Amino acid sequence: MKALNTAELERLIKLPKFELHVHLEGFVDLTFWEEMVKAQGTWTFERAQAMQAHFAFKSFPLFLKCFGAVIYSFLSPADFYRLARYAAERLKAQGVVYAEVMMTPPFFVNRGIDFFEMMAEVDRGFTSVEIEGGPQIKLIFDGARNFGNAEVRHCFELAAQDKTGRVIGVGLGGDEVNFPARDFVDEFKWAQAQGLHLTCHAGEAAGAQSIMEAVQLLGAERLGHALGIEAGSALEEEILKNSVALDLCPHSNLTTGVLATLDQHPLEAYLARGHRVSLSSDDPGFFRTDLIKELSWAWGLGGETLVKQVNQSALLASFMPPAQKTRWATEIAQF
């Protein structure tokens, strides 16, 4: 990937940007993890070595193991203030003005962390950066399909119980091969009845059938990853007919081994065929990426014009209120 020159990079950072597919837990990197466990008093040399080995993953299953090890490092609501502020600061540094951040609360609630205390700390962390000129951040609760219907329903119920005003939608993540979308229709119908927006990881590690089920059966408004949509297929027609947006995460797919090279990524092909796409970093701490890196890659493909097209698509695909979208659309059009 050709590096942007200084002027191009500065312009990219200054562009008001929107990120739609990034996990709060995914902001954890080794630096953050070490600082957190040291503050907890739980750091040991052996534990640090084990975590370094986890972060050297080269496949999607090993990534999930690393993710699990990180999850079990969170011990109290106070850890979530630290994480929320860390995430918001990194978004702010990239010029992100609005983000929809995913989170899976049952990972922590099931281990005894109080949901409302945890959410209050998340809200406090985000707010502390917002008042410093940071991004507006909303939350999407992502159900972990690997743990079955009851856990996904639990996640969605927590979304409906949120008191911070930040939770605007739900999603479905995890192993889409062994836990297909068709198994979670009732949970999505329930969430929709609560007025929550619907997203779904689909086409990350499984194919077209997984994507079709997410669109037709779950009613997903946006799809995460969405690899494998063939030109002219019934699936493509369904996506275009329903204006389903695609949240693409190229470096995530590369790092987990889903793609051998970025040349295999369908960004340009999807755009040429009329799809609404955005770029996101997914789990930036794990994948050593961020939105600037994703958009820099896009800049290398099609220059500033392509970056602006993708960024505007992200704005339009977001779940922010229409009047707010209009204000931002006017601003980025003048950039």
Q: Is residue 317 part of a domain?
A: yes
Q: pLDDT tens across 32-56, in order?
A: 999 999 999 999 999 999 999 999 9
Q: Is residue 92 part of a domain?
A: yes
Please give the Cα distance from 236 to 241 (Å, whole number): 8
Number of helical H runs and strand E runs in the chain: 16, 8
> Which H or E element spans position 98?
strand 96-103
Please give the Cα distance from 221 to 214 (Å, whole number): 9
Q: Is residue 186 part of a domain?
A: yes
Q: pLDDT tens across 188-206, in order?
A: 999 999 999 999 999 998 9
Residue 294's pLDDT is 98
Sign of torsion over alpha carbons 34, 254, 257, 204 = positive
Q: How many domains does the chain have?
A: 1
What burial letters (b/e) apply to 19-50, b meaning 16+ CB within 10 Å? bbbbbbbbbbbeebbeebbeeeeebeeeeeee
Please give the Cα distance from 47 to 229 (Å, whole number): 42
Q: Is residue 11 part of a domain?
A: yes
CATH number at residue 145: 3.20.20.140
Q: pLDDT tens across 222-257, in order?
A: 999 999 999 999 999 999 999 999 999 999 999 988
At 1, the pLDDT band (50, 70, 90 cuts) reads: low
Q: Is the pLDDT of residue 211 over 80?
A: yes
Q: pLDDT tens across 54-73, in order?
A: 999 888 788 888 999 999 99
User: What is the residue range of 40's domain?
Assistant: 6-333
Q: Is 19 a catalytic residue?
A: no
Number of alpha carbons in the 13 Å side-chain half-sphere of residue 264 = 10
Q: Is residue 160 part of a domain?
A: yes
At 87, the pLDDT band (50, 70, 90 cuts) reads: very high
Q: Is residue 1 part of a domain?
A: no
Q: Is residue 104 part of a domain?
A: yes
Question: Residues 121, 151, 176, 204: which is the catalytic one?
Answer: 204
Q: Is residue 212 part of a domain?
A: yes
Residue type, 202: A
